[in-house]
A and B are shown apart, each in its own frame.
Chain A
């Protein structure tokens, strides 16, 4: 089976006053059709830049300097600007955190959805509206025909995010990238949307990359998980492998610092220090200064250790029996 999305050695750099900053450093992963890949990391880990880099949305002073992004076998990085534009929205779609950034506030929902349909497909306006109505129905919007006539400000935050997801679905893309798509929503609404996203992946066969800082969300939603730290994927595996038996000390530290895993009132194990600035990364493993397992060896580049598809970028991975 060809992977819906195959990212190989993706590297993105930014030119800053402090020098070159590698925001995405040799990132590789694949997502099969119908599967959800959770890309987790804390702020500044490079998870959002990874999403933007996949879609070729990096502008100066940033630049994708290496790697390949294969969508259904086609390398997006080798396409001309015009061909890439044809792929975006049709083959690869993105959903952002704030739906008001995606939706045009002065156009009715139906008009802007129909426009998005007709950019890629020759279709009459009425057919396009019908197509949009069906997409709204798929994401669980009640009385979709009426919502088509609404302006974005007339919808609640949860409804707007559903519209944004429906827009991403218009062309039945092979890959959907969602960047913190439920972070701004209330838990009860988040629950509804996550349930629908899961169903979408199962029924439409779209490959979904779910970018978030929230480990609880990915552990219940995703099939596979990549953990990012300082621009690198430090651990990659199925959700069972990564959450059930983390091998990277950083992943272990993240999981340990979740309050729900401890008896109430107990002191939480904490990762010392804070996330490093990308312009001032230590040599070798970037997690070294905060790592309880660090040794002199960690001043050199950590090796990639793969067992049963569970990959970890570490000199001293945790051993699991």
Chain B
């Protein structure tokens, strides 16, 4: 195995909201008004090798977007480190941040919000590389045209405004903008989630072509398991800020080990004939402000025992190249297959 290009080492990210003056005053009487801390990421470690596409899957509040943002250097981690080719991508010292992060580019979910409606597409694409001196000034126009053609649009579209494009076309523009920075790593955060199925297929095909042509390394964040299966080499499953399972895509889909992964697979409707059965996970996702003690999944887990209530499971080896954070895995208790 080649050396990892991107290394995420024991990253935690907490967001703390300090109450305003009025809330603190009211808190004197009600006992509230104390700072609230959200544990968005807890002790996440991952390695990504060059040319790999790693899927990050989870439900809302699991920290998948925060992880993407920490990797892109938008948020500095509260503890732990993210390094790209051995250099940190984010640094608490503000001055350092923008120089480092041009090598990780992000593509967001909503192409209607991520493009400036007042800037021509060509200007949007040229802004970053021009500022950072990535493309020589006299070559900007030809490079922008080439980029637009690379994502399946016409070079002449550089003079148009975002409102003249459909959702799928805008997402292509957003991809071109990320590529313009010649990044080492792309972070796609629900990049196809807002697109219609027929358009989604077009954008996924584009992504797979680009990956093949440019040898892209990417993090593909999504809640859609079938899309992730289609484009990713390895998949990380997250729950309430922690990594619960990490495995090569084919192995994970053939044999999910964590009870949460199993339950997630079971509750997803698939296109097939005949009435489906929804094997729902009972209960709700707990709040990341007050995560349950022990294994965060234990209140919803059909296999939970006393050890799960008290002790946080660590990620441990579960076969070649795969890890899982579950006491059933290391405690010698065998899960009943399909019992979830």
Residues of A bordering B, CB below 8 Å: 42-43, 156, 158-159, 186-192, 194-195, 198, 213-217, 219-221, 223, 239-240, 243-244, 253-255, 257-262, 264-271, 274-275
A-B contact pairs, 14 of them (CB 8 A): A186-B59, A186-B60, A187-B59, A187-B267, A191-B268, A221-B269, A254-B197, A259-B201, A259-B230, A264-B249, A267-B208, A270-B201, A274-B166, A275-B196
Q: Does B279 contact A (CB under 8 A)?
A: yes
Q: Does B278 contact A (CB under 8 A)?
A: yes
A258 adjacent to B272 (CB under 8 Å):
no
Bound form: Cα–Cα A43–B168 in Å: 12
Q: Does B50 contact A (CB under 8 A)?
A: no
Question: What 5 pairs between A and B have smallest CB-CB spacing?
Answer: A220-B276, A191-B267, A257-B201, A260-B226, A259-B230
- Distance from A141 Cβ to chain B, minimum over Cβ atoms (Å): 11
- Distance from B63 Cβ to chain A, minimum over Cβ atoms (Å): 14
Q: A220 — which chain B residues lie within 8 A by C-beta?
A: 269-270, 272, 275-278
Q: Does B312 contact A (CB under 8 A)?
A: no
Q: A219 — which chain B residues lie within 8 A by C-beta?
A: 269-273, 276
Q: What mask results when residues 265 to 303 of chain B are scored 1 for a CB within 8 Å of chain A, else 0?
A: 011111111111111111011000000000000000000
Q: Does B76 contact A (CB under 8 A)?
A: no
Bound form: Cα–Cα A298–B171 in Å: 32
Among A221, A260, A267, find the residue whose CB has the most chain B CB atoms closer than 10 A. A260
Q: B270 — which chain A residues lie within 8 A by C-beta?
A: 216, 219-220, 260
Taking a contact as CB atoms closer than 8 A, the residue among B169, B197, B230, B273 that contacts A262 in the complex is B230
B229 adjacent to A264 (CB under 8 Å):
yes
Known contacts A188-B59, A189-B284; 13 additional CB pairs below 8 A are: A156-B285, A186-B59, A198-B278, A216-B226, A216-B270, A219-B269, A219-B272, A220-B270, A223-B275, A258-B197, A259-B226, A265-B208, A274-B166
- Distance from B285 Cβ to chain A, minimum over Cβ atoms (Å): 7
Among B166, B196, B200, find the residue whose CB has the most chain A CB atoms closer than 10 A. B196
Q: Does B263 contact A (CB under 8 A)?
A: yes
Q: B59 — which chain A residues lie within 8 A by C-beta?
A: 186-188
Which A-chain residue is minimally distant from B62 (CB atoms)? A186
Q: A243 — which chain B residues lie within 8 A by C-beta?
A: 271-273
- Distance from A90 Cβ to chain B, minimum over Cβ atoms (Å): 29
- Distance from B206 Cβ to chain A, minimum over Cβ atoms (Å): 10
Q: State whether A213 and B263 are in contact (beta carbons under 8 Å apart), knowing that A192-B278, A244-B273, A258-B271 are contacts in the complex.
A: no
Which A-chain residue is minimally distant from B250 (CB atoms)? A264
Q: B198 — which chain A residues lie within 8 A by C-beta?
A: 42, 253-254, 257, 270-271, 274-275
| Chain A contact surface mostly | helix
Q: B281 — which chain A residues lie within 8 A by C-beta?
A: 188, 191-192
Number of A-B contacts (CB under 8 A): 142
Q: Does B205 contact A (CB under 8 A)?
A: yes
Bound form: Cα–Cα A213–B168 in Å: 16
B201 adjacent to A269 (CB under 8 Å):
yes
Among B270, B277, B280, B281, find the residue whose CB has the most chain A CB atoms closer than 10 A. B280
Q: B196 — which chain A residues lie within 8 A by C-beta?
A: 42-43, 213, 275
Q: State whether A191 and B279 are in contact (beta carbons under 8 Å apart), knowing that A254-B198, A270-B202 are contacts in the complex.
A: yes
Among A191, A194, A219, find the residue whose CB has the most chain B CB atoms closer than 10 A. A191
Give the contact-size bracket for chain B. 35 or more
Q: A195 — which chain B residues lie within 8 A by C-beta?
A: 277-278, 280
Taking a contact as CB atoms closer than 8 A, the residue among A191, A262, A268 that contacts B278 in the complex is A191
A274 adjacent to B197 (CB under 8 Å):
no
Which B-chain residue is minimally distant from A186 (CB atoms)? B59
Q: What mask results when residues 140 to 169 of chain B are scored 1 for a CB within 8 Å of chain A, else 0?
A: 000000000000000000000000001111
Taking a contact as CB atoms closer than 8 A, the residue among A216, A261, A265 that contacts B231 in the complex is A265
Among A156, A186, A243, A275, find the residue whose CB has the most chain B CB atoms closer than 10 A. A186
Q: B5 — which chain A residues lie within 8 A by C-beta?
A: none
- Distance from B205 Cβ to chain A, minimum over Cβ atoms (Å): 5
Q: B166 — which chain A residues lie within 8 A by C-beta?
A: 274
Bound form: Cα–Cα A259–B200 in Å: 9
Which B-chain residue is minimally distant from A191 (CB atoms)? B267
Q: A257 — which chain B residues lie within 8 A by C-beta?
A: 197-198, 200-201
Q: A221 — which chain B residues lie within 8 A by C-beta?
A: 269, 275-276
Which B-chain residue is minimally distant from A217 (CB atoms)? B269
- Distance from A30 Cβ to chain B, minimum over Cβ atoms (Å): 20
A188 adjacent to B263 (CB under 8 Å):
yes
Q: Does B227 contact A (CB under 8 A)?
A: yes
Q: Does B10 contact A (CB under 8 A)?
A: no
Q: A216 — which chain B residues lie within 8 A by C-beta?
A: 226, 268-271
B226 adjacent to A258 (CB under 8 Å):
yes
Q: Does B14 contact A (CB under 8 A)?
A: no
Which B-chain residue is minimally distant from A189 (CB atoms)? B284
Q: A192 — which chain B residues lie within 8 A by C-beta?
A: 267, 278, 280-282
Taking a contact as CB atoms closer than 8 A, the residue among B204, B227, B268, B276 that contacts A187 in the complex is B268
Bound form: Cα–Cα A163–B250 in Å: 39
A240 adjacent to B197 (CB under 8 Å):
no
Bound form: Cα–Cα A215–B267 in Å: 15
A194 adjacent to B278 (CB under 8 Å):
yes
Among A188, A195, A220, find the residue whose CB has the most chain B CB atoms closer than 10 A. A188
Bound form: Cα–Cα A249–B109 in Å: 29
Q: A253 — which chain B residues lie within 8 A by C-beta?
A: 198
